[in-house]
Chains A and B, each alone.
Chain A
Amino acid sequence: MYIHKIEIYGYGKYVDQTFQLDQGLNIFYGLNGSGKSTLMSFILSIMFGFEDQRRKDARQFDSNPQAIFGGRLHLRDTKYGNVVIERSKQQGKQVLYLTSEENGRQQVASFNDLWDGMSRDDYLAYFGFDEQDLMNFIWQNEADFSKALMSIGVSGRQVLTHITPKLKQEADSIFLANGQKPSLNQELGLLAESQAKLNSARASQDQYFNYQRNLEQAQADLDSLYQQESQLKEQAIQLELADNQKDSLAEYQALDKELAGYQFYNFSPELAREWQELTQKMANLNDQAQDLQITSSPSEGQGLLPASDGERWIQNHSYLAQAMLAEAESYRQQLSADSQLNDELVEKRYEMSRLMSLLDVESLDELPEEMTNEERLHWQQKREMLDNDRLFYKNAEAELDLLDKQRSALKRERQSLQRELSTMIGQDEGDDSYWIKSFGIGLIVVGVLAVILFILFGQAFFLGAGAAAALMGLAFILISVFRKRGYNRNVGQDIEAYQLDLEDIDNELQEIEDQKNLQKNQLDTMKSSSGNFIQDLQDFAVQKGGSEYIQALIWLETDYVSQIKALNTEIQALEARQLDDMPSDQNQEGWAAYSQAIDMVITSQTQLFRQFEDDFHAARQRENTAGIADYEQRDHENRAARLNEQINQLASQQNALLNQYGMPNADLFSQALETEMAMQSKRDRYQMLASHLSNQASDILSQPQSIQDQLADNQTNLKQVEEAINQVLGQIAHYKTQLTEIENSGLVSELDQAHQELVDANYEMAVEWGARQLAIQSFEQATLGEEDGLADRVLSHANHYIYDLSDQRIQTLNFDAQGAFQVQMSTGQSLALNQLSRGEKALLFIAMRFAFLGAQLGQVNLPILIDDAFVHLDDHYRDNVYRFLAERSQDNQMIYFTIDSGAGAQVANSQVFQLNQEG
């Protein structure tokens, strides 16, 4: 494939520029800045794309803004035949067109297919030559030169001088066989430590099970110690119990002795009770019998008081006593009746004196006789008339007051009328018409004066003014005359009316005065007749035999006089009855005898009678009781008999029992029973003690060592066991703490993970190291290895080229087993690479580069771009190179950019373009 034509639309300094190229060698000659680099950049850009403008160090190839950025290349002999590739930048985007004979112009994404997918960098690496490549190559380490030379030939890259050394360096920084510093060496060293830590953590975890075993042992020990402890405590309790039972045991032993010396009858408890009941009954019966004897022994009197003297007298004088009793009783009744009569008398006397005081009399003598009914009627009528008059009089008086008030009211009215009238008359002078009239007259006067002035001075003004004033004056006078007449008519009517009213009031006042006088007269008559009536009545009472100070009106209105007289009569009757009721002198003798018989001081008759009555009743009582005594005597005897019978019965029962048990008498039997019961309760107690006193206690008590000593021993043992328990508890706590600590430590898993991380890291590094070892090995073998014949293929090409390049001075290149080149000169001399000059080395480089193209990239035929790569070579070598290039351009198109003006001259069949600095 070759570039037939370069068309630039716009790129850097080039605008609308076209270069027609040869299929062979094309030389672009120009000084620095003449556009060689721009042109080379253009070719690469059209093929592989414009460089990213954003990239740092990117060279700007901005063009004339008028031109389209980009251009096209006409390519011949591509895999698609002759094509045109076109690339431009529009609105920041690259637009590609591929024009082929087959498909015409088509927009495409890339042209990579045309160069078998080779990238720009690959292309430059293999088809680009520049000075720097060459210089770097020939100046590099002589030891590596063989490898570099071979790498260039085999891979087109300086694999063995650039890539593998880098990999080697990296690998060495990771691991060295006997190294200390490389990271993997260091990390492997850490593994040992980490593993050791992990092992020790695991070992300490194993302690867990030891602790667990110890714990179990300790817990078993603890159980047995607890058992010992509880046994000792039990023992202590037994000892203390035994100690407490010491007294009980002594009692038991005493009872044992006592019971051994007693023969039991084996009385049943029922028997004892039965006997006790019998004895009790017997005692009761005997008591009753004794009581009976005591009450029946006094045969008479039975405790009654001896009869008094009075009683005895009454018993002896029973005929009199009956009458005397009646008398004493009636006297007692009389005494109570008298007290009632007296009360009535007092009441009546009080009533009488009250009535008399109302009448205002002091004795019965001052009382007048009672009025007869006619008299009373007459006087009462008289009095009623007087009362009626008095009532009328009161009314008249009230009327008189009323008249007085009317009179004064009328007088006030008259006065006010009088005042209004006189005011009205007085106002007559205050009439305003007078002032109007006066003003009118004034005006007339002024008018007249004006006329006079007119006349005097003959001025028309005065005449006019005077006439006007006079006319106005006349008008005012007329108004005043009309007002005066109207006023006088109104006032005259009012005065007339007032005078009529005043006359009426005067008449009414006269009538009231008359009436007052009449009433006064009537009142005087009435007062005199009333005063006369009281005097007349008083006189009439005196006339009827009464006192002159009597309340005559009460006498008239009440019947008090008759009532007083009736009361007086009753009082007298009552006083008479009181005198009648005095006691009689019956049984005079009897009473005397009685009072003599009783040996008492009798102060009153009442007392005497009361004593008699008492004595009488006492005597009666005594007679009645005498019959009962006989009956009681008989009853006593019966009861005694019955008691004796019961006593005998009990005694026989007692005897039967005595016989049964062979007892001589009851007392002994009772005693025996009592003893038996006491012994039986002792035996119960004995048995109770026997059953409760433990064997252990008796065993303990039977020990030769005292209980106190045994207790002390027990305490000591207990203390020891408790100490042991505390110790074991401490151990258990310790083991448990250890166990918990191990349980919670989590150390193993942490270390395990840490160890794993270390292993991971080591593994990672080992992979990185190993991969580099393999990569290095692969590169070296691929480049230098003999198995696939690659190197030989390359060398055969190289030999061919170096022969040309060196003007047949260098015959062949040999690559020995040690990886070193030997140069076979045409002279037959064999040289090592380091014996060659730098110029010769450059030739070797060029030969190897072309050998790579020929041997390895034979299938890819692309133009070779040379950027003044040989400018530093000696002229002699350079000429050889030019010639060689011209020859090689038969296989590949060559585009050679140079500042060497002589380049073109040396080579035939080449097209030379002169580039100017101005473009």
Chain B
Amino acid sequence: MLRFIHAADLHLDQSFQNIQAVNEQIFQDMKQASRDSFNHLIDLAINETVDFVIFAGDIYNGDHASLEAQFLFRQGMDRLNDHNIKAFVIYGNHDFIADPSHRVSLPENVYEFPTEITTIDFTSQQGDQVKLTGFSYPSRWLEDNFAKDYPSRDLDADYHIGLLHGQLSTGHESNRYAPFTVSDLKIKNYDYWALGHIHQYQVVTDHPLAIYPGSIQGHSFKESGSKGVALVTLSPASPTRVEFVETSDWQFVNVDHQLPQIDNLDALRDTIERNMHQELMQAREDGVNRLVKLTFHSNGDGESLYWWLNYADQLLDQLQWSLSNQVDKNQSRAYLVDLDLVIAADAKWASSQLFGEALQIQLNEFQNPSYFDDQLKALLTNTDWQRYMAPLIDHDQFMDDVISRAESLIVANQANYDQEKRGLN
């Protein structure tokens, strides 16, 4: 029986997005989140007395890995070493080694795969002969299919495990992260594929078992939900057992609600507080702190939108504070981090159907990137933006965010206009 932990996408030195508004204390706690999750991973390995731990790439967020992260990782490896646990490491698109002199050396129990596909032997305490095949990224992008070049299963070994940091390519579309297909994996006849790159836990295929364990800590609302590692048990007698173990204390949570009919400030406040209370109860039940983004879906009701538009931001500021203040530190916490409004697709944009349709048509025009860029030219051609922001953001995402926000502005501002007009009467 072979027992090991499969982790990937640690991104130990990645900073957190969208939490700047949360108070300082929570921020300090949050900063420890990646470190805590990693330490839980090491604790788990020691407590479960696994044979080894696989790190399937992206231990660090950048090729220029921060020292803090490197020290943290080395510390963890030292602890494994103290307990006679091996670690097998491949580096991925984020932490490929650009300059080896900028990496701290790791203890002897750690094997770092070179940039060529390499197979090594491992003999477990129980005497199982294990082959591990893998490689580390030599650069940020690998457009070739590497999985194809992996050797076929070593028939003499008890187990053969593949380590691969890459992105599954579906159909004919390709990608820049060592694209591979399920059949590439199947044909090798390995016992297990330890994948990395995708931040959400995902079983790619059952035969052979190929798994993305996901990241060990979410860093933004794009990485929501439970984060942890796969605890894998291979046995000749019984089918492979995989257990997902949550190692993170902090979850990013996206929650969607229908925006109810709101006709005063208290009703809006009540709506948000009630939902947050639910999140707090959930956090206590799960024993995991929740960083919550509440998204309300509006059917376009003018009055509700009026209240939202005028008070949601202020309430966010206030409720962030009040919720962080009222929660017992010894229990799991839930914090309101962001409030978002989405206008339902079937919502009436204007009382005049024709005008509403005209607005929708107009807004849709901006899905055309050149048209979009043209509209936002003033910002997009700004030097600072181009130098500091553009490389860090996903333009498609930016477009989506802007258009979606424009939509809610269009609807809400008309509602607001009506309300204000009414107020004048």
Q: Which residues of chain B have C-beta atoms less than 8 A from A746's C-beta? A: 68
Find the B residue at minimum CB distance from A57. Answer: B423
One of A116-124, A229-237, A622-630 contacting the partner:
A116-124
A205 within 8 A of B: yes
Q: How far is the CA of A766 from the CA of B422 in the complex (A)?
A: 32
Q: How far is the CA of A184 from the CA of B389 in the complex (A)?
A: 12
Find the B residue at minimum CB distance from A176. Answer: B378
Contact in complex: B405, A768 (CB < 8 Å)? yes
Q: Which residues of chain A have C-beta atoms less than 8 A from B351's C-beta? A: 118, 122, 125-126, 156, 857
B263 within 8 A of A: yes
Find the B residue at minimum CB distance from A156. Answer: B352
B residues 358-372 in Cβ contact with A at 8 Å: 358-359, 361-363, 365-366, 372
A117 CB to closest chain B CB (Å) equals 7
Q: How far is the CA of A779 from the CA of B414 in the complex (A)?
A: 10
A residues 64-120 in Cβ contact with B at 8 Å: 117-120
A155 within 8 A of B: yes
A195-B388 contact, Cβ under 8 Å, with A774-B363, A777-B375: yes
Contact in complex: B398, A767 (CB < 8 Å)? yes
Q: How far is the CA of A773 from the CA of B363 in the complex (A)?
A: 11
Among A52, A191, A743, contact of B384 (Cβ-Cβ < 8 Å):
A191
Q: How far is the CA of A781 from the CA of B410 in the complex (A)?
A: 13
B23 within 8 A of A: no
- A interface footprint on B263-281 (CB within 8 Å = 1, 0 otherwise): 1000000000000000000
A352 within 8 A of B: no
Contact in complex: A752, B67 (CB < 8 Å)? no
Q: How far is the CA of A569 from the CA of B364 in the complex (A)?
A: 185
A154 within 8 A of B: yes
Q: Which residues of chain B have C-beta atoms less than 8 A from A121's C-beta? A: 302-303, 418-419, 421-422
**Chain B residues proximal to chain A, CB less than 8 Å:** 13, 15-20, 31, 64, 66-69, 71, 101-102, 263, 301-303, 348, 350-355, 358-359, 361-363, 365-366, 372, 375-376, 378-379, 382, 384-385, 387-389, 392-393, 398, 401-406, 408-410, 413-414, 416-419, 421-422, 424-425
Q: A124-B421, A777-B366, A781-B365 are in contact. List 10 more A-B contacts (CB 8 A).
A: A121-B422, A124-B422, A125-B421, A177-B382, A749-B13, A770-B379, A771-B405, A771-B408, A779-B410, A857-B351
- B interface footprint on A766-801 (CB within 8 Å = 1, 0 otherwise): 111111111101110111010010100000000000
Find the B residue at minimum CB distance from A757. Answer: B20
Q: How far is the CA of A157 from the CA of B382 in the complex (A)?
A: 35
B353 CB to closest chain A CB (Å) equals 8
A residues 181-200 in Cβ contact with B at 8 Å: 184, 188-189, 191-192, 195
Central interface residue in B16, B392, B401, B410, by most chain A CB within 10 Å: B410
Find the A residue at minimum CB distance from B408. Answer: A771
Central interface residue in B19, B303, B413, by most chain A CB within 10 Å: B413
Q: How far is the CA of A790 from the CA of B354 in the complex (A)?
A: 8
A358 within 8 A of B: no
Find the A residue at minimum CB distance from B303. Answer: A119
Contact in complex: A763, B398 (CB < 8 Å)? yes
Q: Which residues of chain A have C-beta atoms less than 8 A from B19's C-beta? A: 757
B191 CB to closest chain A CB (Å) equals 38
Find the A residue at minimum CB distance from B420. Answer: A162
Contact in complex: A188, B382 (CB < 8 Å)? yes
A492 CB to closest chain B CB (Å) equals 126
Q: How far is the CA of A788 from the CA of B177 in the complex (A)?
A: 45
Q: Which residues of chain A have C-beta atoms less than 8 A from B302's C-beta? A: 119, 121-122
Contact in complex: A772, B66 (CB < 8 Å)? no
Q: How far is the CA of A345 from the CA of B301 in the complex (A)?
A: 169
Contact in complex: A209, B102 (CB < 8 Å)? yes
A residues 118-163 in Cβ contact with B at 8 Å: 118-122, 124-126, 130, 132, 154-159, 162-163
* Residue total for A at the interface (Cβ-Cβ under 8 A): 75
Contact in complex: A202, B20 (CB < 8 Å)? no
Q: Which residues of chain A have C-beta atoms less than 8 A from B366's C-beta? A: 774, 777
A184-B68 contact, Cβ under 8 Å, with A124-B422, A749-B31, A770-B406: no
Q: How far is the CA of A768 from the CA of B313 in the complex (A)?
A: 13
Q: How far is the CA of A770 from the CA of B148 in the complex (A)?
A: 45
Q: Which residues of chain A have C-beta atoms less than 8 A from B64's C-beta? A: 202
Find the B residue at minimum CB distance from A858. Answer: B354
- B interface footprint on A419-448 (CB within 8 Å = 1, 0 otherwise): 000000000000000000000000000000
Among B71, B375, B393, contact of A774 (Cβ-Cβ < 8 Å):
B375
A917 within 8 A of B: no
Central interface residue in A774, A857, A859, by most chain B CB within 10 Å: A774
A120 CB to closest chain B CB (Å) equals 8
A167 within 8 A of B: yes
B398 CB to closest chain A CB (Å) equals 7
Q: How far is the CA of A503 from the CA of B353 in the complex (A)?
A: 174
B195 CB to closest chain A CB (Å) equals 27
Q: How far is the CA of A778 from the CA of B413 in the complex (A)?
A: 13
- B interface footprint on A567-579 (CB within 8 Å = 1, 0 otherwise): 0000000000000
A841 within 8 A of B: no
Contact in complex: B66, A205 (CB < 8 Å)? yes
B408 CB to closest chain A CB (Å) equals 8
A761 within 8 A of B: yes
Contact in complex: A155, B352 (CB < 8 Å)? yes
Q: How far is the CA of A532 from the CA of B419 in the complex (A)?
A: 178
16 contacts between A and B (CB under 8 A): A122-B302, A124-B425, A130-B425, A163-B414, A177-B382, A743-B68, A743-B71, A748-B13, A749-B13, A756-B15, A757-B15, A761-B20, A762-B389, A775-B409, A781-B365, A785-B358
Find the A residue at minimum CB distance from B392. Answer: A759
Contact in complex: A184, B379 (CB < 8 Å)? yes
A397 within 8 A of B: no
Find the B residue at minimum CB distance from A52. Answer: B263
B35 CB to closest chain A CB (Å) equals 10
Among B67, B403, B424, contact of A748 (Cβ-Cβ < 8 Å):
B67
A508 within 8 A of B: no
A527 within 8 A of B: no
Contact in complex: A766, B379 (CB < 8 Å)? yes
Q: Which residues of chain A have C-beta atoms less than 8 A from B353's C-beta? A: 856, 859
A158 CB to closest chain B CB (Å) equals 8
Contact in complex: B425, A766 (CB < 8 Å)? no
Contact in complex: A155, B350 (CB < 8 Å)? yes
Q: Which residues of chain A have C-beta atoms less than 8 A from B20's C-beta? A: 757, 760-761
Among A753, A767, A785, A859, contact of B401 (Cβ-Cβ < 8 Å):
A767
Contact in complex: A154, B355 (CB < 8 Å)? yes
Q: How far is the CA of A890 from the CA of B303 in the complex (A)?
A: 33
A752-B15 contact, Cβ under 8 Å, with A156-B351, A209-B102: yes
B109 CB to closest chain A CB (Å) equals 21
Central interface residue in B102, B301, B353, B402, by most chain A CB within 10 Å: B402
Q: Which residues of chain A have C-beta atoms less than 8 A from B303's C-beta? A: 119, 121
Q: Which residues of chain B have C-beta atoms less than 8 A from A159's C-beta? A: 414, 417
A175 within 8 A of B: yes
Q: How far is the CA of A188 from the CA of B381 in the complex (A)?
A: 12
Q: How far is the CA of A119 from the CA of B302 in the complex (A)?
A: 8
Q: Which residues of chain B have C-beta atoms less than 8 A from A209's C-beta? A: 101-102
Find the A residue at minimum CB distance from B358. Answer: A782
Q: Which residues of chain B have C-beta atoms less than 8 A from A777's C-beta? A: 362, 366, 375
Q: How far is the CA of A206 from the CA of B67 in the complex (A)?
A: 9
Q: Which residues of chain B have C-beta atoms less than 8 A from A132's C-beta? A: 424-425
A766-B398 contact, Cβ under 8 Å, with A156-B352, A192-B384, A209-B101: yes
Contact in complex: B414, A157 (CB < 8 Å)? yes
Contact in complex: B67, A743 (CB < 8 Å)? yes
Q: How far is the CA of A157 from the CA of B359 in the complex (A)?
A: 13
Contact in complex: A778, B363 (CB < 8 Å)? yes
Q: Which residues of chain A have C-beta atoms less than 8 A from B348's C-beta? A: 117
Contact in complex: B17, A772 (CB < 8 Å)? no
Contact in complex: B102, A206 (CB < 8 Å)? yes
Central interface residue in A126, A749, A855, by most chain B CB within 10 Å: A749
Q: Which residues of chain A have C-beta atoms less than 8 A from B401's C-beta? A: 767
Q: Which residues of chain A have C-beta atoms less than 8 A from B382's C-beta? A: 177, 188
Q: How far is the CA of A857 from the CA of B355 in the complex (A)?
A: 10
Central interface residue in B20, B353, B361, B404, by most chain A CB within 10 Å: B20
